[in-house]
């Protein structure tokens, strides 16, 4: 496999993480969930009692260790919000940029996040923008966190939180969440994870780097 870089961007709980893991496994490529970088920065800021919105978090970003990304407390609701807030700080994004580029330098990668196709790898070989309605994303996130279906009230609360985070991610001045012009849109509302993977594999198979390899 030639070093292929696949960028997968999209809003919270759209299914990009699930797709990225499966795609990387199928293609034998390294995978980086870039959201974990921002989650780890947010988590460490909370542990240090600092304000994720008002305090500069770039020192935390600069000293992130690989073990910080393996913490088991990164996927909690308070960290969802903390991650979004530190991710809106330009100095934090700058501190994490080279680390993300280095990750893919040797062997290519599947990278998922918000700005991979627009800022981290604007020249990525393949760009996918994975999205779903806020309702579907709220249901999925609830099932992921609790293992069972939410009530109507729980859906509406989670939907409001997801929409608030979408707003912070899309409205920030630096590297906002947006679909790159050349990204292929995959709407996952009515697709199973296997169907999303099949669609992505089909897109990858038609890429010139892959067809040249199979000749
Ligand atoms: O899993 P989920 O989609 O909810 O979030 P995530 O991918 O773990 O990302 C957590 C937060 O980090 C997002 O809400 C963004 O604010 C931020 N993020 C970002 O700004 N840029 C990225 N490349 C990845 C995540």
Question: Which token pair is 116?
Answer: 């991979």
- Residue 213 CA to ligand 1 centre (angstroms): 33
How confident is the model at residue 214, as a pLDDT?
58
Alpha helices in 70-206 (DSSP H): 77-87, 90-105, 134-146, 152-171, 193-205
38 Cα nearest atom in ligand 1: 12
Question: What confidence tens digit (pLDDT) does each residue in 176-208 have?
Answer: 999 999 999 999 999 999 999 999 999 999 998
Quick one: DSSP state of residue 3?
-
How confident is the model at residue 21, as a pLDDT?
98
Nearest protein CA to atom 2 of ligand 1, as residue: 12
Query: What is the average pLDDT score of the chain?
Result: 94
Helix (H, G, I), strand (E, B) or coil at 176: coil
Can you give the residue range of the structural domain that contains 97?
5-198
Residue 207 burial by Cβ neighbours in a 10 Å radius (0-12, 13-18, 19+): middle
Question: What confidence tens digit (pLDDT) does each residue in 67-102 have?
Answer: 999 999 999 989 999 999 999 999 999 999 999 999
Measured CA to CA, the distance from residue 166 to residue 162 in angstroms comes to 6
Residues annotated as binding site for ATP? Answer: 10-18
Give the DSSP letter string of 11-64.
STTSSHHHHHHHHHHHHT--EEETHHHHHHHHHHHHHTT--TTTS--HHHHHT-
**Residue 214: inside a domain:** no
Nearest protein CA to atom 7 of ligand 1, as residue: 35
**Residue 27: inside a domain:** yes
Number of structural domains in the chain: 1
Question: What confidence tens digit (pLDDT) does each residue in 134-179 have?
Answer: 999 999 989 988 888 889 999 999 999 999 989 988 998 999 999 9
How confident is the model at residue 2, as a pLDDT?
62
**Which is nearest to 136 in space by CA: 11, 14, 10, 8?**
14
**Residue 208: inside a domain:** no
How confident is the model at residue 146, as a pLDDT?
87
14 Cα nearest atom in ligand 1: 3
**Which is nearest to 205 in space by CA: 23, 22, 17, 14?**
23
Mutate to test the pocket of ligand 1, among 7, 33, 38 (most ligand atoms within 8 A of CB): 38
| pLDDT exceeds 80 at position 23 | yes
CATH number of the CATH domain containing 135: 3.40.50.300
87 Cα nearest atom in ligand 1: 20
10 Cα nearest atom in ligand 1: 3
The β-bridge partners of 108 are 4
**Residue 212: inside a domain:** no
**Residue 205: inside a domain:** no
**Which is nearest to 1 in space by CA: 182, 204, 199?**
204
Higher pLDDT, 115 or 211: 115
**Residue 209: inside a domain:** no
Helix (H, G, I), strand (E, B) or coil at 110: strand
Nearest protein CA to atom 14 of ligand 1, as residue: 84
Question: Which token pair is 102?
Answer: 């280095």
**Residue 215: inside a domain:** no
| pLDDT exceeds 90 at position 118 | yes
Residues lining ligand 1, judged by CB closer than 6 Å?
12-13, 17, 34-35, 38-39, 83-84, 87, 113-116, 165, 169
| pLDDT exceeds 60 at position 1 | no
Q: Which residues of 64-81 are buried (b: 16+ CB within 10 A; e: fewer)?
A: beeebeeeeebbeeebbb
**Residue 36: inside a domain:** yes
């Amino acid at each position: 496999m030639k070093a292929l870089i696949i960028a997968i961007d999209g809003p919270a709980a759209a299914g990009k993480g699930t797709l990225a893991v499966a795609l990387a496994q199928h293609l034998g490529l390294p995978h980086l969930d870039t959201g974990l970088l921002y989650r780890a920065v947010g988590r460490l800021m909370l542990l240090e009692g600092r304000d994720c919105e008002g305090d500069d978090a770039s020192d935390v970003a600069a000293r992130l260790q690989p073990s910080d990304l393996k913490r088991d407390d990164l996927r909690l609701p308070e960290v969802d919000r903390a991650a979004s807030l530190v991710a809106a700080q330009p100095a934090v994004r700058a501190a994490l940029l080279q680390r993300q580029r280095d990750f893919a330098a040797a062997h290519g990668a599947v990278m998922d996040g918000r700005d991979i196709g627009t800022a981290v790898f604007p020249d990525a070989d393949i760009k996918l923008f994975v999205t779903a309605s806020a309702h579907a994303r709220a249901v999925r996130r609830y099932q992921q966190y609790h293992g069972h279906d939410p009530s109507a009230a729980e859906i509406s609360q989670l939907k409001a939180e997801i929409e608030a985070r979408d707003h912070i991610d899309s409205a920030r001045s630096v590297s906002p969440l947006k679909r790159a012009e050349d990204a292929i849109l995959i709407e996952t509302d009515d697709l199973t994870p296997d169907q999303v993977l099949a669609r992505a594999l089909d897109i990858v198979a038609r890429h010139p780097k892959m067809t040249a390899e199979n000749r």
